[in-house]
Structure 1
Amino acid sequence: MVIAAQNIPSKPVNALEIEFSQMAAFVETQLGEAILAFERRDVAAAERVIAADKKTDAAHRAIDDHVMAILKKGPLDEVSLRQVMSVLKMAADLERVGDLAKNVAKRTIVISREMPIRSIPGVVRMGRASLRQLSDVLNAYNDASLNAATAVWGGDDVLDELYNSIFREIMMEMMTDSSKTSAYTHLVFIAKNFERIGDHATNLAEALHYQLTGAGLGDARPKGDETSERIIAARDD
């Protein structure tokens, strides 16, 4: 999907929006490729996703530099300032989505060396759900749709509940087949990566809401059961 930049009177801000749109389209593609590589356990495809993350990082740095250049030129009107600051925040979330897609790809390479595992299709479904959330919020950005952004924000608990269900499924399988403990552990981390991508999609929705209205969405972000959060801390560096 190619995202069109919003029509903004300020040329520097408009150029920044175009730059963000290009980064968004690239990250969305990379996440889709990471999910497909995982589903197929395609090592070559996973390696391409890992290598491509450098482009995401470079795009993020370029946006940071562009924002600084705009701010140095002098005061902006309120609408333009909200747009600039929102893009700065959204680019950081996109960069993190790119990191999470890379982490999925790295673990895919390990999983590819294991025998087939029953939980893989469920994790793939979760990956596709996270991609839908990301696509939905980027479409909301493209259309400047407040309703669509709010819908993404309100749907965060769906992915949380899906993660909890898959987590329990993986734990049950691990207890019945201890020979693949390492592979199951990687699956839990991959599922957690997808859940975090959903969180970043929600962050994007919040930033877009602020950009369009000047107001936040509040603190009561929908969340599912957090039992699995207390059982495992799945951090990928």
Structure 2
Amino acid sequence: MAATGNGSLLTALQAAVGRDAVLYDADELTVYEYDGALDKARPDFVVFPRTADEVADLVRVCNRYGVPFVARGAGTGLSGGAIPVKGGVLIVLTRMNRIQQVDYLNRVAVVEPGVINIAVTEEVAPDGYYYAPDPSSQKACTIGGNVAENSGGPHCLAYGVTTNHVLALDIVLPDGTPVHVGGPAPDWPGYDLTGVLTGSEGTLAIFTRAWLRLMRQPEAVRTFLA
């Protein structure tokens, strides 16, 4: 699909997110044809939504034009989940990078998908809390990507992987419908749709907001050698 032959699609994408948030030049697209995996595939367009409404609008545009779309975070994944193997539109969520709320009483942080993993801990550490999932790329990877891949790390041996620390999600379904799943506490009544979505690698929905479980920092740490 050549951008020059899809002027109407380009116009629709720009209308959804603004002209400055759409890439279609071949040189610019090259950066987004791979992630941390070995496979490569070049998208026809790269878009950078800033809100959940813009994500929903983009998905509806792709449906209207019959164009495939793939969500992407920081591109650090090793499974090829952010590779647009059929071209189309790559929806990059890194501009949705706000920590919207921290509720220490209930030990919950509400964040957008483009928030860097370690930024959550840096935000709450002065008050004695941290976010446990810590993949090796935590200084670069995003929460949205972590949820999509069900990422782990050294702390997962004691505290579980990402799915054990995601309480609820705002998502956009493949038809552009926004949906909220989960609740403000672990083991929320009903089907565990949050658990189903976590680790789905972008095949079921695009995540636009996550409710994360925070943990208290230990009062002291000691290392023993036996």
Query: Normalized against structure 1, the TM-score is what?
Result: 0.27
Higher relative contact order (CA 8 A, sep 6+): 1
Larger strand share, 1 or 2? 2
TM-score, normalised relative to structure 2: 0.28
